[in-house]
Structure 1
Amino acid sequence: MNFPQAAEFSCCSANTLLKTNRHAPPFVMFAKQMKADVQIVPATGTRRDGKMHLIAGHYRWKALTAAGIDTIKIIMRGPVTDKELYELSYKENVDRHPQSVIGNAFSWKSFLDIGVCRSETEISTSLGLPQPTVNKTI
């Protein structure tokens, strides 16, 4: 079992495939909660290029920063590919903070362009979505 470890923010990098809105009302409330209660649920991460790289927990990271806290608790996973990194982030967040259709369209098109996925079918299979949903989104 991997136990959470604390990491300085300077040692972490974010998954740039997912974007967050730091000014949304839920985020502002989350930052206040982090300041009062600190971090209850650890983030998930992996090690890349000598840094801890967040897989899930971007809102926690940004809320902790906004609250003036400079460390984050992370449960580390083994190495992951770019595709696995996105899949894990997407699946972690889809129920709580669904991505916008336009956000998905940009991400999925980018995956095809840079070769993370070879086809729309591969995207739909890896995310557990109907292929027509991926096709219409892109």
Structure 2
Amino acid sequence: EKQKLESELKTLREEVETNQAQMKTLEKALEERQSTLSSLEQGQEQYKEKEKNLQNQLSAAYEEVVWTQKDSMSKAEQIEYFEYELLAKNQEVDDLKQELNERLRRIVELEVDLEIHDDRFSFSMDEYARSETGTA
């Protein structure tokens, strides 16, 4: 009987050690997720600032085209030049949006991984609690 109890105690201790190791892994994953989230938030702020700057540059470029080259360009040439500038700025904005979407996709992947580990850990802890209380 004593050996049986010692064996069960040893098994429970091993489970506790395993759960503690899983907990450390989850904590590390959470720290990585928080770091990634922080980085994404910072990137999003930078993206918004770049987008604002690009809009300001676009407005300034438009003003320059309209006022400084008005005399030397025909209306069609002015429109063509403005469309070219607009396309270039829109491409920069699209590139920034693509980068932001990639970062957001990565954080969703990290969240899913974290949820999977968290679910496994919760189930393991429930089993441990049941074994401690003697319920099956």
TM-score band by shorter chain is under 0.3
Q: Which has the higher helix share?
A: 2
TM-score normalised by L of structure 1: 0.18
Q: Which has the higher strand share?
A: 1
Max Rg structure? 2
